[in-house]
Amino acid sequence: MATHPANEAPLSAPVELQNRHRRALTRLYDTRVEANLFQLCWLESHGVEAHARGQFTFWGLFDAERELQAAALDLAGRLVMVEAHDPSRCSEFGAFFLRRGTYFQHIVSRRACAEAFWRTYSAESSVQARLIQHQQLYVLTPAELAGGGEPSGLRRARQDELEAIFLASARMHREETLEDPLERDPEGFRRHVRYRIENGRTFSWFDDRRLLFKADISTRGSLGAQISGVYTDPLHRNQGIATRAMRDLCALLFAQGLPRITLYVNESNEAACRVYRRVGFRYCEPYQTVFIAD
């Protein structure tokens, strides 16, 4: 399908963004830094244009004055994240990707944008949701971090802990998504877990040889970090383990100069929400993940 430069495209047609659009893209995302922290960190690390075709693409919608009004980050046709000043405009991205035959595995965005995208993207029976998770976006700043409490044994995970962290990550994935990664793609999932450990993005707390807690840093940049993959061993839940470990992880990140930390959690997981609130996180806005059926 042909794409158009931003100064030639029809107003309703998404255009593939280029490096010259970086300032406009940043301005759009800056209107909701917490909700768009992943995209802002991605932009900071990778720029607007990928080095190799197909790695990722930023798409934009412009108004009559050629001001950027909405953006979509397409990560290799697997994941899409959408944002807009007017969330209803995300429906144009949904129709666009459906026409292109792009079949994502996940849609992750603040809820109003995700819902608008999904309404048009799922217009054909060939696109169905396996699971729609209503979530809550939380944010924490250094001044809000709860003090006190007994220190945990949290530290960066090591390669020799891969197997324990791999199994814990798989259990967490099953709990959160109702899908077993060991049945879908065990080796691909193992590579993903190994990559995060190798890059210092996984933190763990072991008691002797038993994993009590783990968490991942899904993204980080000058504007902050996002925590994901939080898991506490079922035998050690409701004992303050997660609260202590999360407090220490956030303190570590803030000590490195980060101004904010975000995470999103399933609305139904009230136990996790209580942990985050005890650490000092505050609710920001509704979020949503759509898991798309194969």
Q: Are residues 269 and 158 in the same domain?
A: yes
Assigned domain for 117 exists: yes
In this prediction the pTM is 0.93
Q: Is the pLDDT of residue 169 over 60?
A: yes
What pLDDT score does 26 carry?
98
Q: Can you give the pLDDT at residue 6?
A: 44
Give me the domain span that covers residue 261. 142-286
What tens digit of pLDDT does each residue of 194-238 get?
Answer: 999 999 999 999 998 899 999 999 999 999 999 999 999 999 999
Are 55 and 158 found together in one domain?
Answer: no
> pLDDT band for position 241 (50/70/90)?
very high
Residue 102: inside a domain, yes or no?
Answer: yes
For residue 9, pLDDT over 50 is answered with no
More confident residue, 208 or 40: 40
Q: What is the mean pLDDT of the chain?
A: 95
Question: What CATH number does the domain containing 251 carry?
Answer: 3.40.630.30
pLDDT at position 12 = 65
For 268, phi then psi, to 5°, come to: -75, -15
